[in-house]
């Protein structure tokens, strides 16, 4: 380093000659990765642990490299949707079975209805991706076309649903495990939280690596289940119809077939539509051409899910699988067992199912932080959500999602049946608002094929609106009311946050391009001193170097103490720095200091006051409790005082002495 000559001493540039950490380039300095090099051993260990868990840091300009291909994108954004094929048929049949054979006969019609709705929703979302190539979640579409309130309602609905997706799918995966190993049952919540922690770490490593981790299981599930279904279809079509394996206890026939029962079955099955939003929300995560790639993934996802769902429903009813009242054996499990027997293949399918259920949570881990970052950029959520971490992931959102969903899992003791009624209502609210928003969009734009697009989205809006009502009514009592109650609160909070940021903005900003002239006044420095020791002299020395207007202040609890302190000051420091001694008979420190500052202020109003605090830095953090928290209390009290700043002058044991004692 050497010092360049400038006009003023303060103008002297730091010229970097041999530094690995900072490099001067054109008018500015670039920080290299070396700025992170830890200096202590503990620091190095922590840094290595961080790198091992979360990977090396990634600079911003490598963001393109973090984008995903179609193959990875499908695994990341579709695992939630595809995994629901593992239980959508069963949830539907569980409702219908109470009405006996007449009820179960409706399984295929309802499945076809849901797949049709899925087709409409996917087509609608293809329009979304086309209209919003920079990522068109329901929030963006609704707020741009229907106004901010609609956008916030959609955002709140989706945020709630993302959290629930994590809790439900992890609970589902843990249930699959505890079914196999009943002795692990008491540790259900702990296992679930462990899974959430693993998924969190994977996502903090960045979206691309998260995709690599999760791609295998998604394809593994699709292929293994598709194999079972192909064998089943072949046997059924060739007349070799498998004998159904019976569950431990079949659901008894106890209700007559009514409209409400059918609607409830439909609501339960429509869980298979959730997760569609994720792709449209995540367009920007795809490699170029992003919109096209996202559209392809959306179609492949819809086709995969639709095929699996139809085939499972068809085979289950054709073969005559019964629903297990005890929830020990799943319909998909019984179906697999009926078709391929209970050999190795059966266990492979069960394992794949358990894994994909846990990993379905991953869809939320890309959806939630992304939506939260968009909201934070628009100032509807705290701005921490908009910051990318070391690995370009939205770390704050990931961690918040992990904590909230783990808490929810713990509150519900890991029960799937307790959580599931809260689920899906949010997704359908968001669907409806987003489709309705797009109708407005096409009507306004009137680009090519606008009539067709508007018609598709209008159909989508009507259909998903009806589904929303059906789900809300049939699941209201079971828990959907909680979601409906929490959403207005969230919308209100987001509104307040926005209002707060806006107000602060208005008050803090200076007119753009305005020329500013600083009106600097020389501040008065006050140095509270409790006794004359090295820490105090260190602070006095700094104050003395900064200004000629320094007063030391001592507060004594009695007059004898005041007298002897004055004498000691005169002997040690002399008249170089004037001392003021206050006697505080009520043993208070803060109140007399504040009164003294008021007196100074009255003497010369508007002149800045700087309080210089000597702070002793203990060698270990746990020693901090042994030192008076006086400095902290002073800082807190002075923080709200107008026109008053505080200099913290830390004294470390072994700091060079900036005074001479003789």
Other beta carbons within 10 Å of 85: 25
Closest approach of Cβ 143 to its own copies, in Å? Answer: 20
Closest approach of Cβ 525 to its own copies, in Å?
8
Instruction: State how far the Cα of 177 lies from the Cα of 189, in Å rounded to an integer.
Output: 12
Q: Per rule CB under 8 A, is residue 446 in the interface with its own copies?
A: no
What are 165's two structure tokens? 């997706």
Query: 289: cis peptide before it, omega within 30°?
Result: yes
CB distance 176 to 354 below 8 Å = yes
Binding status of residue 485 toward its own copies by CB under 8 A: no
Contact status, residue 134 vs residue 281, Cβ threshold 8 Å: no
Q: Which residue, 288 or 625, is less far from its own copies as judged by CB?
A: 625
64 binds its own copies (CB under 8 A): no
- Asked if residue 60 lies in contact with residue 79, where contact means CB atoms within 8 angstroms, the answer is no
Cβ atoms within 10 Å, residue 227: 16
CB count within 10 Å of CB 583 equals 15
Within 10 angstroms of residue 606's Cβ, the number of other Cβ atoms is 8
| Of the candidate residues 234, 466, 604, 632, the single one contacting its own copies (CB under 8 A) | 604
Instruction: Report if residue 596 touches its own copies, rule: CB under 8 A.
Output: yes
Contact 403, 119 (CB under 8 A): no
Name the minimum Å distance from CB 31 to its own copies: 4
CA distance 332 to 176: 12
- In the complex, the smallest distance separating the C-beta of residue 646 from its own copies, rounded to whole angstroms, is 5
Count residues binding its own copies (CB under 8 A).
144
Which helix H or strand E contains 186, and what residues bound it?
A: none
Q: Give the binding range for its own copies (CB under 8 A) out of 274-282, 400-408, 414-422, 527-535.
A: 527-535
CB nearer its own copies, residue 448 or residue 606? 606
Distance CA 405, CA 193 (A): 9
CA dist 122 and 398 (Å) reads 27
Q: What CA–CA distance (Å, rounded) separates 360 from 395?
A: 19
**Using CB under 8 A, which of the segments 83-91, 253-261, 272-280, 654-662 binds its own copies?**
654-662
Stretch that binds its own copies, among 127-135, 311-319, 334-342, 518-526 (CB under 8 A): 518-526
- Which stretch, 19-27, 188-196, 409-417, 475-483, contacts its own copies (CB under 8 A)? 19-27
Stretch that binds its own copies, among 191-199, 323-331, 451-459, 586-594 (CB under 8 A): 586-594
* 422 versus 540: smaller Cβ distance to its own copies: 540
- As a whole number of angstroms, the distance between CA 610 and CA 630 comes to 17
The only residue of 49, 502, 595, 633 in contact with its own copies, by rule CB under 8 A:
595
> Of these, 326, 377, 564, 628, which contacts its own copies (CB under 8 A)?
628
Site for its own copies in 558-577 (CB under 8 A): 558-559, 562-563, 566, 571-574, 576-577
Q: Is 473 in the site for its own copies (CB under 8 A)?
A: no
- State how far the Cα of 236 lies from the Cα of 242, in Å rounded to an integer: 7
Binding status of residue 660 toward its own copies by CB under 8 A: yes
Of 178, 415, 530, 584, the one binding its own copies (CB under 8 A) is: 584
Q: Of 335, 375, 525, 634, which lies in the binding site for its own copies, with binding defined by CB under 8 A?
A: 525
In contact, 352 and 371? CB cutoff 8 Å: no
Contact status: 514 vs its own copies (CB under 8 A): yes
Tell which one of 226, 459, 594, 637 touches its own copies (CB under 8 A): 594
Determine contact, residues 362/371, Cβ cutoff 8 Å. no
Choice from 549, 564, 632, 633 touching its own copies (CB under 8 A)? 549
When asked if residue 5 is in the footprint of its own copies (CB under 8 A), the reply is no
- The answer to the question of residue 186 lying near its own copies (CB under 8 A) is no
Which residues lie across from 453 on neighbouring strands? none
Q: Does 509 bind its own copies (CB under 8 A)?
A: yes
Member of 149, 533, 564, 633 binding its own copies (CB under 8 A): 533
Compose the 41-60 pattern: x for residues touching its own copies by CB under 8 A, - for all others.
----------------xxxx
Shortest approach of its own copies to residue 607 CB, angstroms? Answer: 9
Dihedral angle sign, alpha carbons of residues 256, 260, 262, 264: negative
Q: Which of 16, 187, 212, 249 binds its own copies (CB under 8 A)?
A: 16
**360-419 binders of its own copies (CB under 8 A):** 382-384, 387-390
Coil vs helix vs strand at 269: helix
Measured CA to CA, the distance from residue 489 to residue 498 in angstroms comes to 14
Q: Is 207 in the site for its own copies (CB under 8 A)?
A: no
Shortest approach of its own copies to residue 64 CB, angstroms?
13
Question: Least separation, in Å, of the C-beta of 516 and its own copies?
Answer: 5
Among all chains, which residue has been given the structure tokens 């901090």?
A: 624
Contacts of 518 (CB under 8 A, 6+ apart): none
Q: Does 521 bind its own copies (CB under 8 A)?
A: yes
Question: Binding to its own copies (CB under 8 A): which residues in 629-648?
Answer: 635, 639-640, 642-648
Of 373, 374, 281, 303, residue with least CA distance to 77: 281
Q: How far is the CB of 393 from its own copies (least distance, A)?
A: 11
Matching residue, tokens 């990993």: 359
For its own copies, the binding residues in 297-356 under the rule CB under 8 A are none
Buried b (16+ CB within 10 A) or exposed e, 402-437: bebbbebbeebebbbebbbbbbbbbbbbbbbbbbbb
The yes or no reply on residue 530 touching its own copies (CB under 8 A) is: no
């Amino acid at each position: 380093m050497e010092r360049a000559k400038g006009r003023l001493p303060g103008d002297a540039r730091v010229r970097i000659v041999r530094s690995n950490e900072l490099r001067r380039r054109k008018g500015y300095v670039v920080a290299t990765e070396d700025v992170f090099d830890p200096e202590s051993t503990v620091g190095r260990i922590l840094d290595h642990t961080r790198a091992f868990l979360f990977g090396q840091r990634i600079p911003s300009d490598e963001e393109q490299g973090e984008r995903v291909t179609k193959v990875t994108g499908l695994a990341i954004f579709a695992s939630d949707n595809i995994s629901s094929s593992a239980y959508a048929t069963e949830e539907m049949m569980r409702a219908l079975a109470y009405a006996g054979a007449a009820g179960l006969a409706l399984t295929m019609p309802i499945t076809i209805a849901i797949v049709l709705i899925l087709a409409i929703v996917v087509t609608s979302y293809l329009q979304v991706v086309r209209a919003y190539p920079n990522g068109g979640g329901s929030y963006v579409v609704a707020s741009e076309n229907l106004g901010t309130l609609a956008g916030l309602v959609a955002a709140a609905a989706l945020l709630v649903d993302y959290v629930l997706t994590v809790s439900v799918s992890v609970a589902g995966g843990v249930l699959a495990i505890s079914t196999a190993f009943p002795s692990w049952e008491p540790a259900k919540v702990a296992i679930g939280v462990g899974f959430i922690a693993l998924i969190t770490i994977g996502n903090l490593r960045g979206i691309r690596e998260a995709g690599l981790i999760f791609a295998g299981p998604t394809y593994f599930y699709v292929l293994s289940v598709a194999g079972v279904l192909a064998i089943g279809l072949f046997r059924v079509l060739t007349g070799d119809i498998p004998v159904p394996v019976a569950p431990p206890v079949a659901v008894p026939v106890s209700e007559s077939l009514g409209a409400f029962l059918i609607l409830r079955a439909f609501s339960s099955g429509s869980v298979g539509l959730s997760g569609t939003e994720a792709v449209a929300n995540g367009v920007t995560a795809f490699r170029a051409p992003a919109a096209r790639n996202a559209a392809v993934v959306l179609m492949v996802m819809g086709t995969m899910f639709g095929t699996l769902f139809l085939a499972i429903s068809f085979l289950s009813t054709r073969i005559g699988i019964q629903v297990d009242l005890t929830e020990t054996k799943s319909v998909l499990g019984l179906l697999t067992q009926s078709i391929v027997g209970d050999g190795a293949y059966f266990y492979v399918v069960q394992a794949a199912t358990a894994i994909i259920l846990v990993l379905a949570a991953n869809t939320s881990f890309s959806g939630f932080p992304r939506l939260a970052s968009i909201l934070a950029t628009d100032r509807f959520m705290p701005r921490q959500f908009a910051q990318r971490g070391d690995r370009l992931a939205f770390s704050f959102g990931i961690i918040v999602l992990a904590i909230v969903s783990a808490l929810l899992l713990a509150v519900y003791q890991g029960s799937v049946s307790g959580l599931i009624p809260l689920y899906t209502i949010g997704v359908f609210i968001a669907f409806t608002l987003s489709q309705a928003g797009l109708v407005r969009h096409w009507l306004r734009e009137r680009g090519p094929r606008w009539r067709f697009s508007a018609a598709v989205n209008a159909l989508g809006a009507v259909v998903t609106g009806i589904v929303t009502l059906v789900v809300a009514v049939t699941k209201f009592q079971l828990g959907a009311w909680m979601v409906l109650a929490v959403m207005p609160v969230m919308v209100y909070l987001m509104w307040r946050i926005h209002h707060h940021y806006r107000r602060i903005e208005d008050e803090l900003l200076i007119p753009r391009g305005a020329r500013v002239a600083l009106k600097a006044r020389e501040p008065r420095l006050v140095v509270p001193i409790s006794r004359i020791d090295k820490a105090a002299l260190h602070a006095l020395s700094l104050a003395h170097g900064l200004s000629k207007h320094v007063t030391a202040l001592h507060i004594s609890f009695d007059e004898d103490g005041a007298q002897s302190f004055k004498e000691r000051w005169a002997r040690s420091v002399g008249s170089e720095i004037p001392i003021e001694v206050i006697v505080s008979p009520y043993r208070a420190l803060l109140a007399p200091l504040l009164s003294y500052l008021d007196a100074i202020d009255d003497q010369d109003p508007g002149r800045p006051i700087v309080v210089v605090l000597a702070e002793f830095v203990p060698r270990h953090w746990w020693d901090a409790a042994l030192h008076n928290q006086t400095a902290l209390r002073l800082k807190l009290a002075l923080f709200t005082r107008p026109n008053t700043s505080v200099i913290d002058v830390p004294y470390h044991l072994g700091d060079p002495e900036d005074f001479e004692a003789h």
